Amino acid sequence: MSKRVLTTESGAPVADNQNSASAGLGGPLLLQDQHLLEKLARFNRERIPERVVHARGSGAYGHFEVTDDITGFTYADFLSQVGKRTEVFLRFSTVADSLGGADAVRDPRGFAVKFYTEEGNYDLVGNNTPVFFIKDPLKFPDFIHSQKRDPFTGRQEPDNVWDFWAHAPEATHQVTWLMGDRGVPASYRHMNGYGSHTYQWTNAEGEAFFVKYHFKTNQGIRCLSAGQAAEQAGQDPNSHQTDLLQAIERGVHPSWTLYVQLMPAAEAADYRFNPFDLTKVWPHRDFPLRRVGRLVLDRNPDNVFAEVEQAAFAPNNFVPGIGPSPDKMLQGRLFAYADAQRYRLGVNHTALAVNAPKATTARNYGRDGFMAANPQGRAAKNYEPNSYDGPVETGRPLSAPLAVNGHTGTHEAPLHTKDDDFFQAGELYRLMSGDEKSRLVANLAGSLARVSRDDVIEKNLAHFHAADPEYGRRVAEAVRALRED
């Protein structure tokens, strides 16, 4: 059987792939060696700008199957009947570290799901925690700068991390999550995923509900202690990637059960705290979990760069029956995520295989830009409306409209009766067992004791005291003991 011929990118056969063309035996190389120049030029451009956040990631394909009837709450087609399956791609990631970072670190995990529905792609972009550090997107660049490498020292600095948190009391809840037992998952398979934000569902009658997503792992929650995480990160920095890849390859397909919490839209204004505040959870006693379906991952990508690194998620990719809420952080991300992908991958990134619709066809008037393929054909028009049978609007909104009133300006979120930054952090602490509390205190103190400024330490201790007096006292004592050593 004859072997296939190696060619250049233009399709010309390559005569010699071992030796560059030179001016005589042992002479200098020639500029005319097209094959050499093409290989080197492509090699120089193999890397694209990495994500500023969520750079370190893994992913897999699978499906989502509806198990329960929820048509009374949304008319989204992919959720329209029990048994209906939709292909998905799920990307896991750490948040703060770079592409070369280790998997087993104390950091939130991204949990981004792309549903390839018959009405277009729906991107649900969340984390493995139900809350986040801040509630307004204006703070996001500053927050990330404080958690990333310092511009002078080139490393993450406890002074920066804790100084920002000292000025962001709303972070206390997420800090308690992060420094607790679930701060380092044992693998991507053994953690939950959350939509985190509040979204909106609309049913066929036009009734609106606000919704929170909970993907509960069917493998069970497993986490690593600080010591176990350090050991694993040193032995195999790719531990989570290795685990996911090998599990799927041997036929052990991880799965999650999707539950939602649903709040009738009319209840939001008078709820006891702001239901659109990303730093808070909705108590299950107020809004019980309602099962929706099962997500299964059963196929690894063939090429990590093409399908994981180039996977692009944007929470503004909605489908009919699903839309946004007034959640400020979500509103900021509706722009920021899509714009990040346009910067990293180019304006035509939605045509890449992992990002393109699979159950339908994209039809619009976008043209040109880098890597434009122009699949519309030579006679297709690039404007609308037109008289040439081009695609037209439906006239039907994807979701119910959001009511607005008042004056434009920079407003703080409206206050509800129990809006404060600490009570849910205190509730979380009091839910923990004695051993869980001890590990939380040790993790917090081990990090906070490294801060050089006493005033920054005291501001953060005040947050823990406000959440729960015992919580604050124990962290203060542990920090004091470490600083006296």
Alpha-carbon distance of 186 to 105, in angstroms, equals 10
Q: Would you list the DSSP string of 394-431?
A: ----SSPPPP--S--S-PPPPP-TT--SSHHHHHHHHH
Q: Is 253 a catalytic residue?
A: no
Beta strands 193-194 and 199-202, pairing class: unpaired
Q: Which of 121, 127, 192, 460 is flagged as catalytic? A: 127
| Dihedral sign, Cα of residue 372, residue 376, residue 379, residue 381 | negative
Judge contact between 233 and 431, C-beta under 8 A. no
Alpha-carbon distance of 140 to 134, in angstroms, equals 7
Alpha-carbon distance of 64 to 83, in angstroms, equals 9
Which tokens go with 353? 């295989």
Q: Residue 263: phi, psi to the nearest 5?
A: -120, 120
Q: Is 127 a catalytic residue?
A: yes
Q: Residue 92: phi, psi to the nearest 5?
A: -100, 155
Q: Would you list the DSSP string of 360-399?
A: S--------STT---TT-TT--SSSS-SS---------SS
Q: In Å, what is the CA distance from 278 to each residue of 62, 254, 275, 318, 430?
A: 28, 28, 8, 20, 21
Judge contact between 219 and 190, C-beta under 8 A. yes
Which tokens go with 469? 């007096």
Report CA 360 to chain centroid distance, whole Å. 24
Alpha-carbon distance of 74 to 209, in angstroms, equals 8
Q: DSSP letter at 284? A: T
Which tokens go with 230? 């350090």
Alpha-carbon distance of 89 to 61, in angstroms, equals 4
Query: Which amino acid belongs to residue 186?
Result: A
Alpha-carbon distance of 16 to 30, in angstroms, equals 14
Q: Which of 54, 63, 214, 240 is flagged as catalytic? A: 54
211 - beta bridge partners?
199, 262
Report, as residue numbers or ranges, the catalytic residues: 54, 127
